[in-house]
Amino acid sequence: MPNTLSPDWLKKSVFKPDIFKGKVVFVTGGAGTICRVQTEAMILLGADAAIIGRRPEVTQKAADEMAQLRPGAKVIGVGNTDVREVKSLVAAAERTVKELGRIDFVICGAAGNFLSDFNHLSSNAFKSVISIDLLGSYNTVKACFPELRKNKGSILFVSATLHYYGIPFQTHVSAAKAGIDALSNALAVELGPLGIRSNCIAPGAIAGTEGIDRLLPADMREKALSLIPAQRWGQTEDIANGTVYVFSEAASYVSGTTIVVDGAGWHTSNGAANNAVYPQMLIAQGNDTPKL
């Protein structure tokens, strides 16, 4: 299944057309695989969108393509935006309001990841992932807060399941995603009285994404798949469906929670990584000179 949606998606969607008509979604990482399909679903269901990214050409290209999904859709690409800098995001939010009129939904999806054991993970590399994933998520909500408050909007953080158990080579990302979960929970409590909902969505192993293509070695994939109780890889469409639900009126009483979309995989699939590398490879890596 391709990792983009087409107008035909509406024919099989369980959601009513135009449920987001007149609404605007602000998405960091919107040109990426998962966040792009999340955004496409929102557009097909009536929303306009702002795609936020660092690379102007890539961001604008994605926005132009997504604008073709629905007649009359307005999709802007806001490149040269660094989620690590709150002023950069404030400028992106201001442009969104100027061109699209409002912000109702925020998807915090900008993220970075790579494989590294603790001994070879420098402090700077650890900080870089924390800055993009966690600080970037905080900055995104901070920049959009006036609009969220005004429109009684909703926030969705793209999290993960890595921190539910100990998994090697993902110390940096696990810490960042755990922080995102805590941030979302705190915001749900603090911003709830203002009419703002805050939730996380935690994708499992999704086909066609870096999580499998780059981060899961080929010789481990068969074992990993066998340990997913649903017995299939997830699809980006699965995450899109969860996103639409969380932002829809069907979830108007859902806040401060994490929607895990992984076929129950987190309960078992950590064994795929641990069986392959634990403990021999980690002992070998740990005997090297530490990278500071």
pLDDT over threshold 60, residue 152: yes
Q: What is the spatial distance between Cα 53 and Cα 30, in angstroms, rounded to a whole number? A: 7
Does 5 reside within a domain? no
Which residues are catalytic, by number? 159, 177
pLDDT of residue 270: 67
Q: Across-strand partners of 26?
A: 50, 106
Does 12 reside within a domain? no
Each residue's pLDDT tens digit, 30-50:
999 999 999 999 999 999 999
Does 2 reside within a domain? no
Does 93 reside within a domain? yes
**How many structural domains are present in the chain?**
1
Q: Which residue has the higher pLDDT, 269 or 10?
A: 10
Q: Strand pairing of 24-28 and 48-52? A: parallel
User: The CATH number of the domain where 63 resides is what?
Assistant: 3.40.50.720
Q: Across-strand partners of 234?
A: 206
pLDDT band (50, 70, 90) for residue 106: very high
pLDDT over threshold 50, residue 288: yes
Q: How many Cα atoms are found within 13 Å in the side-chain-facing hemisphere of 129?
A: 20
Nearest to 201 by CA among 105, 126, 113, 115: 105
Q: Please compute the mean of the pLDDT values over residues 141-155 and round it to a whole number.
A: 98
Does 9 reside within a domain? no
Domain, as residue range, for 196? 17-286
Q: Please compute the mean of the pLDDT values over residues 117-140 and round it to a whole number.
A: 97
- E-strand stretches of the chain: 24-28, 48-52, 75-78, 105-108, 154-158, 197-203, 258-261
Nearest to 180 by CA among 222, 145, 116, 135: 135
Q: Please compute the mean of the pLDDT values over residues 227-234 and round it to a whole number.
A: 94
Q: Please compute the mean of the pLDDT values over residues 133-161 and round it to a whole number.
A: 98
* Sign of the torsion formed by the C-alpha atoms of 237, 238, 241 and 247: negative
The DSSP call for residue 221 is H
pLDDT over threshold 90, residue 247: yes
pLDDT over threshold 60, residue 144: yes
Does 59 reside within a domain? yes
Residue 71 CB partners (closer than 8 Å, separation 6+): none
pLDDT over threshold 60, residue 2: no
- What are the tokens at 73? 């859709």
Q: Are 111 and 158 in contact (CB under 8 A)?
A: yes
Does 39 reside within a domain? yes
Percent of the chain with pLDDT over 90: 82
pLDDT over threshold 70, residue 264: yes
Does 207 reside within a domain? yes
Q: Please compute the mean of the pLDDT values over residues 91-106 and round it to a whole number.
A: 98
pLDDT of residue 6: 92
Q: Please compute the mean of the pLDDT values over residues 124-137 and round it to a whole number.
A: 98
Q: How many Cα atoms are found within 13 Å in the side-chain-facing hemisphere of 78?
A: 28
